[in-house]
Chains A and B, each alone.
Chain A
Amino acid sequence: MSYFAEKQPLVADIFSRYPDSPQGRRSALMPLLREVQDAEGFVSESRMAEIAALCGTTATEVRSVISFYSTYHTLPTGKYHLQVCSTLMCALAGSDELWDHLVETLDVQPGEVSADGRFSVQKVECLGSCGTAPMMQINDDGYYENVGPSKCARILQSLRQDLQPLPDNPVPVTVGADGRQVLATGQAIGSSVTGLHRLPEQAGGEA
């Protein structure tokens, strides 16, 4: 069962962002992976092979790239993927206790999905929200901060009813399809504000 067979316009759009050369095709690896992971929650071996064929590379190469990034998953994830920051600041503020509590009450270990298919957990490195430790990120939706015992219980309670509470803060910086970094407010930041130039031979393009 092919994921991209029905999505030729999307595939063509992704490939159009890169030079039309063997090397350029390989560059499309990351957005293709992101596409599969966003849709399915993880990248299975058959998807790796499919993406490899699209990029003109091998499944080994694809797995190598996936395994380099901790944010790609090769095992299924739950509807709510809880990413608990476990770096020093959060650890001092009780992220270990938060982690133990999550693992115990949800009965999942990293790499597993809870029986109802809702939850999976992952320890992540610093998410840059040390002032509000301990904190966790749910999917790519945003940060849940100062997660103490009662707040944790409230969040889990709502998630069990599929009523995901609004995050305290959205993920600070995202990169749009046009390659620009934007804050949650929509304000463009970083060097992409001035550092992206329109390529001369692609006049009319969005740069």
Chain B
Amino acid sequence: MKVHVDGIEVELPAGTSAIDAVFSAGGDVPYFCAHKYLSPLGACRMCLVESGSPRKNPDGSFVMEGEGDAATPKIFWFPKPMASCTMQATEGMHIRTAKTSEVVAKAQAGMMEFTLLNHPLDCPTCDKGGACELQDRAFEYGYGASRFGFDRRHAEKHYPLSDFVILDQERCIHCKRCVRYFEEVPGQEVLDFIERGGHTFIDTEEGGLPTGFSGNITDICPVGALLDNVARFRGRNWEYDHTPTTCTLCPVGCSITVDARNGRLERIVAGENRDVNEAWICDAGRFGHPFASEERLTTPLVRNEDGALIPATWDEAITAINRGLLGLPLADLGLFVGADATLEEGAALAALADALNARHVDHFPRHSVFIAPTATLTDVATADAVVVLGADLGEEAPVLELRILEMLRGGLLPAEFAHGTAIADLRLVERPARRPERLAVIGGESRLWGHAGHRVSANGENALTRLAHPDTDDLKAVRALLDGAERPVLILGADALRGASGSAAALLADLASRTGAKVIAIPAGPNSNGLAALNLVPRTGGLGVDRLGEVPAAFISRLDPGMRAGGFTVVHDTHLTATAQLADVVLPAVTNYEKRGTVQNLEGRLLPLNPAAIQSGEAADLIRTLTALAEALGVKAPARGQRGAQTLLMGSVGVNTATVQVGGALHTFARTFVAPAAPHTPKLWTERMRSRDRDWVERIHDLVEGGWTLPVAPAAPQPGGDD
């Protein structure tokens, strides 16, 4: 299909919208209401273009214009500008944008003037300022002046829709993105327009927004109407250091951008990864970041003679570890790590364990069985049947839930062009018809329960066995759904995998091969899939982290079992956790927001982590901490930094993580290590992820009452600067 945009001819697939035709031709059209992953609506009328098409005579030949060889098909123009986001481009269509058409330029400037009639001029105090679609487009396409000399609309400026989202009703331009988002993506009709005309505002009648995925509306709001309350008034957009990285709160591995200012993590916004999270992230990933900049450990702590943990230098900590472990056989030192460590860190730890001949090696949480993923998240979204076994996706992998809901809407993935994801994919419609009969949920009740056509209340642990040998009519219906589907996907959650053994894996493999189902077993930890490829499980005669108390001495990195080892205990963590408070030496760790490295998500995709500019004092990642531990033990550290760890990883599992691209790449490790594991109940939100602002209010009050001066500005220059 050939389309002419401002005289440039482009070749496009049938069904492309006119707005994507313009962008494909390298042109530009302003728009507010269209969104890549939402249905096009034509609400804002900013994407106006002039368009026309050739017309055919009754005999099938084109109506021509001109004489002889110079004759070309005559273009019949629409009499008025058209909204390009809801118009389908057709063969031979001609489109004129503001670049070549006075009419369009004037129409867009006029629409801009209308949109700005009631928009307050509070850009200087608006969090969106500097990253605001309305601001940018007003500058590019507006008159630059308003002829409206009357009072603007006045409405509620600080209307909390929930604890996390604040609505400024004056700023709203009624693009309806948030309304459509809730209806189309998480399937919750909780927002809508109230009143009409100039009085229209957004509100909910449900007493607040449901937690789960509500924060995404702050990303898609084209103006500063819906704001992230955790990051509100924390900085201007041009002051933030933007770091694109991967969220490691759960095994989905969503693309995020971490915004830090003056060394503090202030905001997290969703990044786009078409294969993983599209453009959505969960509320925990977006709002659960205050811990990264609150109450962090910034220096090592060493327990003194009085039994108190006091700040120390790394050298003092190394000396203390050396003394504490004196006389202990190196092989008796337990090495334990949290399952959100990167692959590089895991490789460094595995190599150190090899060098020490350590037996007590473990990572937590993990399942006692490893089931290699055969389905990708795109497979889930485009499946024709999904069976979820014993999973509470809200706690285990929230965005997987969104991809399942996408499957219920027909699994229409927006097309991709050279300019990115289609801005308006005309196949996406408002109030899409859903196919709940394609989803079966077996296990306990969860948020997904309400969307499922087949619901079987079952004890998650034997759900798989019961599905393989259905004993009730409900289960037989689910089995029939699996058998009848062409692209079925099985999703196993923590309940189904708890206590699972090799026989369960064999049963699953058998079921998958019989039904042709692809499988995703949700890993227990964010990087459990990757760490399973490294020998980080108890070795012969070794004890797991669940029997920490019996281990003679231990080094515990970013794990909080709430107990200490039998003897000398070194804890490496970001905060003074319950475990750290029991330790002999505490070493400061960095969060995953500050790491460079690689993790593998639940579908086996290697995803890169990039370090955000967050102040963390002398904190170190696991690789550098292990060099300190090696020094204390008097052995040579297998890796001294990221490069060395990458080399180790290359040697042990044959993956070059230095070349992992932004969007990640699927990878299957040849070998995996499993061992019996303690049961674990996944929990997405931890207490520390909630904002502690109220504590601060009290603390500041205490300080003021106590005659202290407030810590307004640190005396020393801060890394990160105040650019």
Contact = CB atoms under 8 A, between A and B. Distances in A.
Interface string B192-228: 1111100000011110000000000000000000000
Contacts of A68: 193, 195-196
Interface in A61-75: 61-64, 67-68
Interface string A36-52: 00000000010010000
Q: Tell me the interface secondary structure of chain B in the complex.
A: loop
Interface residues of B, number: 14
Contacts of B431: 23
B195 A59 contact: no
Nearest to A63: B205
Residue in B191, B204, B205 whose Cβ sees the most chain A Cβ within 10 Å: B205
Contacts of B205: 45, 48, 58-60, 62-63
A67 B206 contact: no
Interface string B166-207: 000000000000000000000011111111100000011110
B480 to A, nearest CB: 23
Nearest to B182: A60
Interface string A133-163: 0000000000000000000000000000000
Contacts of A63: 192, 194, 203, 205
Residue in A45, A63, A64 whose Cβ sees the most chain B Cβ within 10 Å: A64
A64 B206 contact: no
A184 B194 CA distance: 34
Interface string B260-292: 000000000000000000000000000000000
Q: Tell me the interface secondary structure of chain A in the complex.
A: helix
Interface in A5-48: 23, 45, 48
B433 to A, nearest CB: 8
A57 interface: yes
Contacts of A45: 205
A60 B204 contact: yes
Contact of A67 (B189, B190, B195): B195
Contacts of A61: 189, 192
Contacts of B193: 64, 68
Nearest to B199: A67
B191 to A, nearest CB: 7
Contacts of A23: 431
Residue in A48, A57, A58, A60 whose Cβ sees the most chain B Cβ within 10 Å: A60
Interface in B567-608: none
A45 B206 CA distance: 11
A62 B203 CA distance: 12
B520 to A, nearest CB: 29
A34 to B, nearest CB: 18
Contacts, number: 35
B143 to A, nearest CB: 31
B609 to A, nearest CB: 39
A58 B191 CA distance: 9
Contacts of B189: 57-58, 60-61
Nearest to B195: A67
A62 B191 CA distance: 11
Given A45-B205, A48-B205, A58 B190 contact: yes
A48 to B, nearest CB: 7
A45 B203 CA distance: 14
Interface in B458-503: none
Contact of A60 (B195, B196, B203): B203
A58 B194 CA distance: 13
A68 B192 CA distance: 11
A59 B206 contact: yes
B238 to A, nearest CB: 36
A63 B200 CA distance: 12
A60 B204 CA distance: 5
Contacts of A60: 189-192, 203-206
Nearest to A49: B205
Contacts of A48: 205
Contacts of A64: 192-194
Nearest to B204: A60
A90 B205 CA distance: 37
B186 to A, nearest CB: 13
Interface string B538-562: 0000000000000000000000000
A57 B194 CA distance: 16
A22 B193 CA distance: 21
A61 B193 CA distance: 8
Contacts of B203: 60, 63
Contacts of B192: 60-61, 63-64
Nearest to A57: B189
A188 to B, nearest CB: 31
Contacts of A62: 205
Nearest to B436: A22
A21 to B, nearest CB: 9
A52 to B, nearest CB: 8
B174 to A, nearest CB: 13
A58 B43 CA distance: 23
A67 B193 CA distance: 9
Contacts of B191: 60
Contacts of A59: 205-206
A24 B203 CA distance: 25
Given A58-B206, A60-B203, A64-B194, 16 more contacts: A57-B189, A58-B189, A59-B205, A59-B206, A60-B189, A60-B192, A60-B204, A60-B205, A60-B206, A61-B189, A61-B192, A62-B205, A63-B192, A63-B205, A68-B193, A68-B195
Interface of A: 23, 45, 48, 57-64, 67-68
Lowest 7 CB-CB distances: which A-B pairs, in order? A64-B192, A59-B205, A60-B205, A58-B189, A63-B205, A67-B194, A60-B192
19 contacts: A45-B205, A48-B205, A57-B189, A58-B188, A58-B190, A58-B205, A58-B206, A59-B205, A59-B206, A60-B191, A60-B192, A60-B206, A61-B192, A64-B192, A64-B193, A64-B194, A67-B195, A67-B196, A68-B193
